[in-house]
Structures are given as C-alpha cells and as structure tokens.
Amino acid sequence: MSQNHNLVSAAEDLIQEHFELEPSLEKVIWINSDKTAEIRLLEITPETFPAGEVLSYYFPPDDELPYATILAQITPEEWQKVLRKEISLPEGWTLENHKVYSRNLVAA
C-alpha cells in the first residue's frame, strides 16, 4: 500500500469521524491534499464562534493517526469570505488541490 493511499485513507476516516461527531458540520475542506506529511482540514459549521479569521491548531501524529493534523473551524459566512478572499487562509494554505467533503458524500 502506498504512503499516499494511507494518507488518503487516514484523512477520510478522520473526516467521516468528525461528521459523525458533529451534527452541525456542513463541509470539510481538505486543504492542499497533495501534502504527504500532514492533513490540513478546514471545517465549516454554523456552531463555531466567528473569529473573523482562520485560526488553525496543530495536533501531532500518534499511534492511531500517524500524520500531523492541522484543524480550523469557521462559520459558513466566514467560508464565503475566504472564497471571496476577504479572509485569508493560514500561511502556506491555498485552495489549490483542495477537496470538499459534504455529509452526503461521506455517507455515500
């Protein structure tokens, strides 16, 4: 099994788990999914507090998830502002090579 396959599988398991845990989660954007050393997820949920910026938190790899994860949560309105470039993404994050996961897509 390739390293990339393992990364995709780990990322998608994590995304599915977050959809299961968080009923209000609308979308998860896997940012720069071509990066092989870490998983960057931008979660869109109306239940988060709007900070007017994208604050991304680092979690180190461990036995269960051998990739560092960087997670951020923003509201749907903030996501629209990100798309309009009114709110910037964290350093090094771009919308190139991103994947969008919705609840329906994950459940399918």
Partner 1 sequence: MIDRQSWQTAFLKQARVDWEAYQRTRQASWPECHRLLFLQMASEKLGKALLVAGHSSLEKITQTHAAFVKFVQIAGNHRKLQKALGMNKSQQRAQFKTLLPFAYKIELLAPALSQHGPNPEYPWKETSGNILAPADYPFPLIKRLRHTPQGIQLLKYIEIFLNRFEALFM
Distance in Å, CB of 62 to partner 1, minimum: 5
Distance in Å, CB of 105 to partner 1, minimum: 19
Residue with tokens 């995709």: 8
Residue 39 in contact with residue 67, Cβ under 8 Å?
Answer: yes
Tell me the C-alpha distance between 54 and 21, whole Å: 21
Binding site for partner 1 (CB under 8 A): 17-18, 21-22, 40, 48-49, 51, 53-60, 62, 64-65, 70-73, 90-93
Nearer to partner 1, 2 or 94 (CB): 94
Residue 40 in contact with residue 10, Cβ under 8 Å?
Answer: no
